[in-house]
Amino acid sequence: MADVIAIDGPGGSGKGTVASRLASELGWHLLDSGALYRVVGLIALRSGIGFDDIASVAEAARKADIGFKYAGATPSASPIRVFVDGIDETDAIRSAGMEQPASRVAAIPAVRDALFATQQSFRRPPGLVADGRDMGTVVFPDARLKIFLTASVEARARRRFEQLKDRGASGSLRAPSGSGHDNAAGSRDAELAAIRASTEVRDERDRTRPVSPLMPAPDAVTIDSTEMSIDDVMAAVMVLVQERGLGC
């Protein structure tokens, strides 16, 4: 069985960036498990399936035709594009409006069951770096290295804000026009506050759901990235990777 490095944590902790950099450093495969839940959220939204209609959402998850394409020759080469029924939906699933739908469908046990085998199929030689919420606890409990990457809610909301701004995609989290935030600073503050509120709602749902809640595995190493750059986090992770003799 190929080795797995599991990187779990809340949104905005930097785990996606760290996972993709680590995978390319090691030449390993990469699983962005959140993308799968985002796709199911997108399908439910587009098909008009209510998030309370558990049977229909689970059916959509079972039938979903999801494909990943990589920018380069290796399976870890980012940016990874995500296809649904052969159509590139990367931008759609990454938009701010998809965060709550993804979190809603991820709380449905039958959806998690439907995506379980797909996630495990990413485990191939020479190894897999998998990022998500339950990689170390449920999907790859035998991972050789488990990292729980976290950060304060303020830091995570700020990073999310910058990320969405870079992509020009903050969309639905923007303060409604006429809300009194007409100048740039006011509008920035309002947007940041909206992202923070949305982050807290999502964290709470991800942490308290009965099945596969967001939590560190007992044997995970926790890294708090609040005061760290991505380079700092990568350096700390590489020490752990080397200590465990991974990717040599």
- Judged by the rule CB under 6 A, the positions of this chain that interact with ligand DC are 11, 33-34, 37-38, 102-103, 106, 132-134, 202, 206
DSSP string, 61-101: HHH--EEEE-SSSSTT-SSPEEEETTEE-HHHHHSGGGHHH
Give the angle 203-209-210 at the CA atoms, nearest 5°: 155
CB-based contacts of 120, cutoff 8 Å, min separation 6:
139, 140
- Rounded to a whole number of angstroms, the minimum distance from the CB of residue 44 to ligand DC is 13
Nearer to ligand DC, 6 or 26 (CB): 6
Shortest reach from residue 37's CB to ligand DC, in Å: 3
Residue number with the smallest Cβ distance to ligand DC: 34
Nearest approach, Cβ of residue 66 and ligand DC (Å): 13
* Least Å from the CB of residue 47 to ligand DC: 18
Q: Among residues 191 and 206, whose Cβ is nearest to ligand DC? A: 206
Structure tokens belonging to residue 240: 């752990």
Q: Which is nearer to ligand DC, 149 or 181 (CB)?
A: 149
Structure tokens belonging to residue 62: 């079972």
| Of 103 and 170, CB closest to ligand DC | 103
For 69, the token pair is 């394409």
